Amino acid sequence: MEQYRTRPAPHPQRPPAQRRGAPTAAVPAQGGRPRPPLARRLPRPRLTGLGGGLFACAGMVLAGGISWLLFDSSLFVYGLLFVPVAAAAALWVRPADLITAPISAPIAFAAGAWSISGGSGGFGGQLMGLVSVLSLHAGWLYAGTLVAALIAVVRKAVLIGRRRLPRRVA
């Protein structure tokens, strides 16, 4: 009677120290360079498309609150905070969901602008204040969306280049 393996065999190309979950302290990478220790590397979260959109919305609601509390609803500060939030959302989204980064950036801008729109007189007044903010400060909206779109396009081009590289060599 044969006994079958219950665990998969270890990956033949990776040494045991480079397996998932093991700490990587100065273990040479495939290129021959030693990798920096785990504590010195930047975090590489990979958000889904929905997670990236929620991250951007939460960041812009926080930026709107900061602008409202500290800077008396300054739209310049809000727009200045929008560009890095849109860039971070585009950098941290998964490669499969890159298209969602420039789509979620304007939605996040509108979600955070609600708190600093300055409308009065009920729901209609708040909505008109939001429309005014979106129309008068469209430059910041376009700038952040453009940054997110450029980051997504460059990341996609790098991914396509990495996929095609082995075909050219072989």
Is residue 24 predicted with pLDDT exceeding 70?
A: no
- Residue 28, helix vs strand vs coil: strand
**90-133 residue pLDDT tens:** 988 988 888 888 999 999 998 888 888 776 778 888 888 888 88
CA angle 3, 9, 11 (to 5 degrees): 170
Q: What is the pLDDT of residue 59?
A: 92
pTM score: 0.66
pLDDT, one tens digit per residue, over 37-46 is: 655 565 666 8
Contact 102, 152 (CB under 8 A): yes
Distance CA 118, CA 100 (A): 29
Work out the pLDDT band at 84, boundaries 50, 70, 90: very high
CB contact at 8 A, 86 and 108: yes
Q: Identify the weakest region by mean pLDDT among 2-16, 59-73, 116-130, 144-158.
A: 2-16
What is the model's pLDDT at position 116?
82
Q: Give Cα 69 distance to the centre of its chain.
A: 26
Contact call for residues 16 and 22 (beta carbons, < 8 A):
yes
Three-state secondary structure call for residue 34: strand
> For residue 72, what is the DSSP state?
S
Which residues, listed in sequence order, are joined to residue 28 by a DSSP beta bridge? 34
- Tokens coding 166: 């082995």
Token readout for 71 is 């800077």
